[in-house]
Amino acid sequence: MKVLITGGAGFLGQRLARELLARGSLKDAQGAPQALTELVLLDVVQANDFGDSRVRTEVGDIAERSVLERAIDGQTAAIFHLAAIVSGQAEADFDLGMRINLDASRLLLDVCRQRGHRPRVLFTSSVAVYGGELPEVVKNDTALNPQSSYGAQKAIAELLLNDYSRRGFVDGRVLRLPTISVRPGKPNAAASSFASGIIREPLNGEEAVCPVNGSTRLWLLSPRKAIECLIAGLELDAAALANQRVLNLPGISVSVDEMVAALREVAGDEVVKRIVWQADPRVEKIVGSWPGRWDTSRAEQLGLRGDQSFADVIRGYIADEGISLR
């Protein structure tokens, strides 16, 4: 089976690639496992190919049709579309966000349509599609009201994927991801970047700024569980999705104070003292518009699972990254 990951050089793209290569197979649309024969990693920068002969890396701008035509052919059976401009950057550069989060997503669907073989396509979406006055628990039938350009672009991509699926151009599914925490690596331009930073940097002996109030409620998913959900989401039976291709993934609802308490529980007081509290109204406005919890019954009925506790998430991060606590 031939598989494409866009954003294949990114953090989730690389984790997903490593997991797919380790598993060595993916279920086809009929539910039968098929050996992974080619994994294309497309990104605007060169992706790591893990020295694996099944990997082909492609470098290019996914908002250009020729780049997508090179990456997708009539044998591409599954596409994980992870490439995106993150929330903070899409707010700062409107045209860039529209170009990558909207135009490239549509172009990808159009190239699939042109190929004509109805590949499975998985889009990732976000808590940011919600906003405005929200119920305490967001339901599957709660209206979207994004309060950021990133959220609007993701909501539009969801609508496109739903319609392209309904028309039979692709077999699509969208997973709305909670905020992913703890991400390894460096801070990025996502408004939610601090949700990893306030755990990761203190564990590395560095200071981290927390730009929101401790009572701010977040909806979180660990990278480990996110990767499991991406694969399970792509393998879902299309019939079970019917006319609603969008799924809210399970998460854990924690306040920033509770995140800090979990860090204290796992790593001690000295580590927690490295968090510097310094409000940033720009970040507070975007993050504060997101839901702190949503109803995940549909995803759970379909077998998708989140984390147990945020302390466990921190322990998983420490284990994955080989961090030694002094």
Positions marked catalytic: 150
- The verdict on 94 binding a copy of itself (CB under 8 A) reads yes
List the one residue from 45, 116, 141, 324 that touches a copy of itself (CB under 8 A). Answer: 141
Give the count of beta carbons closer than 10 Å to the beta carbon of residue 250: 20
List the one residue from 131, 178, 197, 202 that touches a copy of itself (CB under 8 A). Answer: 131
Q: In terms of CB distance, is 301 or 324 closer to a copy of itself? A: 301
Beta carbons within 8 Å of 76's beta carbon, 6+ residues apart: 2, 3, 4, 40, 115, 119
Min dist CB 175 to a copy of itself, Å, is 16
Q: From 72, 133, 139, 79, select the one nearest 288 (Cα to Cα).
A: 133
Min dist CB 138 to a copy of itself, Å, is 10
- The verdict on 244 binding a copy of itself (CB under 8 A) reads yes
List the one residue from 53, 215, 243, 324 that touches a copy of itself (CB under 8 A). Answer: 243
Please, is 60 exposed, middle or buried when counting C-beta atoms within 10 Å of its C-beta (0-12, 13-18, 19+)? middle
Beta carbons within 8 Å of 159's beta carbon, 6+ residues apart: none
Alpha carbon distances (Å) from 59 to 47, 49, 185: 8, 12, 22
Instruction: Compute the distance between CA of residue 135 and CA of residue 294 in angstroms, rounded to an integer.
Output: 9
- The verdict on 109 binding a copy of itself (CB under 8 A) reads no
Q: In terms of CB distance, is 56 or 106 closer to a copy of itself? A: 106
Q: In terms of CB distance, is 25 or 114 closer to a copy of itself? A: 114
Instruction: Compute the distance between CA of residue 40 and CA of residue 31 in angstroms, rounded to an integer.
Output: 22
Instruction: Compute the distance between CA of residue 50 and CA of residue 53 in angstroms, rounded to an integer.
Output: 9
Q: In terms of CB distance, is 163 or 257 closer to a copy of itself? A: 163
Tokens describing residue 114: 């042109």
- The verdict on 126 binding a copy of itself (CB under 8 A) reads no
Concatenated DSSP letters of 238-285: HHHHTT--EEE---EEEEHHHHHHHHHHHH-HHHHTTEEE---HHHHH
Contacting a copy of itself within 46-65 (CB under 8 A): none
- The verdict on 298 binding a copy of itself (CB under 8 A) reads no
List the one residue from 87, 89, 162, 179 that touches a copy of itself (CB under 8 A). Answer: 162
Min dist CB 218 to a copy of itself, Å, is 21
Q: How many residues bind a copy of itself (CB under 8 A)?
A: 25
Min dist CB 73 to a copy of itself, Å, is 22
List the one residue from 14, 89, 149, 179 that touches a copy of itself (CB under 8 A). Answer: 149
Q: Which stretch binds a copy of itself (CB under 8 A): 135-143, 178-186, 279-287, 313-321?
A: 135-143
Beta-ladder partners of 75? none
- The verdict on 136 binding a copy of itself (CB under 8 A) reads no
Instruction: Compute the distance between CA of residue 143 and CA of residue 132 in angstroms, rounded to an integer.
Output: 10
Min dist CB 155 to a copy of itself, Å, is 5
Give the interface with a copy of itself as residue ranges (CB under 8 A): 94, 131-133, 135, 140-147, 149, 152, 155-156, 159-160, 162-163, 166-167, 243-244
